[in-house]
Structure 1
Amino acid sequence: MGCNYKKDNSYSSENNQYAENYYRIKRHNHEFESSTDYEEDDEGVEHNHRIAGVSGPPIKYGKSHIHKIHVLTDTFDDHFHEICDTTGPAIYIGDGKHIHVIKGTTEEADGHTHDYFFATLIQDPTNVPEDRKC
């Protein structure tokens, strides 16, 4: 499985007012799960694929960071697709937590590709401050 990651990412954190206040590049990764859009294979069968995995570690990107994603989709009718991409910069959601958005197209297999668009899960979801626990 070869992987040529995007060198430029079209996402921007300029509108993310929390980015500069909360930016810290700690070692972490993100889980993700989603589905691709529907496409027809070379036999005309319409289908989609499931995507799940864990990102790579953070990579400094301006005043934020991004993550590499490298996974295979699930198998449908004896084929699967490779996803090799980078997330957008961090989007802070409060309490020092953040997510990332990723949008792209799978590698071609069985005569077609699939588009995907999803957000990662928050980093370290079980680390809830004591004063915020129910």
Structure 2
Amino acid sequence: MFFCCQKRGHVHSYSGTVSYNDGHVHYYRGLTSPPIRWGNDHIHQISGRTSVNDRHDHGYRSYTGPSIYVPGGHIHRYDGTTTRNEGHTHNYSGCTSLQISSRY
């Protein structure tokens, strides 16, 4: 059965540390978008701004992969590259939390 139609009202939390570049790291965290249909599954968008370090921050935006079913629900993998600032970028990757019910 098509999961996102059953669980339309959900998001995921995510957090992590970007790659070490130019002598520093940044942290990021947030909530995904609601589900976006993707074939017989769904994905989510993640976007936001990193923490400030070395007097600057970076933006990020990417899409998760499809659902990965685990005990208690599902998660998603994601990866991407931040916006360029102060002459450099950072890479990030990780997995979301289990789904969180929400009202969308």
Relative to the length of structure 1, the TM-score reads: 0.69
Unaligned runs of 5+ in 2: none
Q: In the alignment, which residue of structure 2 is the partner of 1:33?
A: 15
> Structure 2 CA distance, aligned partners of 1:101 and 1:76?
25
User: More strand by proportion, 1 or 2?
Assistant: 2
State how far apart, in whole Å, the 2-side matches of 1:94 and 1:63 are. Answer: 20
**d(CA) in 1 for partners of 2:53, 2:81:** 17
Q: Distance in 2 between matches of 1:119 and 1:81?
A: 20
Moved over 3 A (4+): none
Q: Give secondary structure in 2 for the equivalent of 1:84.
A: strand
TM-score w.r.t. length of structure 2: 0.88
Indicate yes or no: 2:100 matched with 1:118: no
Select the structure with the greater relative contact order (CA < 8 A; seq sep ≥ 6). 2
Alpha-carbon separation, structure 1, partners of 2:44 and 2:84: 22
* Pick aligned residue for 1:108 from 59, 67, 84: 84
> Partner of 1:98 in structure 2?
74
Return 5+ residue gaps in structure 1 as ranges. 1-19, 41-45, 126-134
Residue pairs, 1:1-134, within 5 angstroms: 23-25=2-4, 26=7, 27-40=9-22, 46-95=23-72, 97-124=73-100
Letter aligned with residue 55 of structure 2: D
Q: SS in structure 1 opposite 2:36?
A: strand
SS in 1 for 2:100: coil
Cα distance in structure 2, aligned partners of 1:124 and 1:68: 15
Shift of 1:124: 2.6
Question: RMSD between aligned alpha carbons?
Answer: 1.4
Identity across aligned pairs (percent)? 38
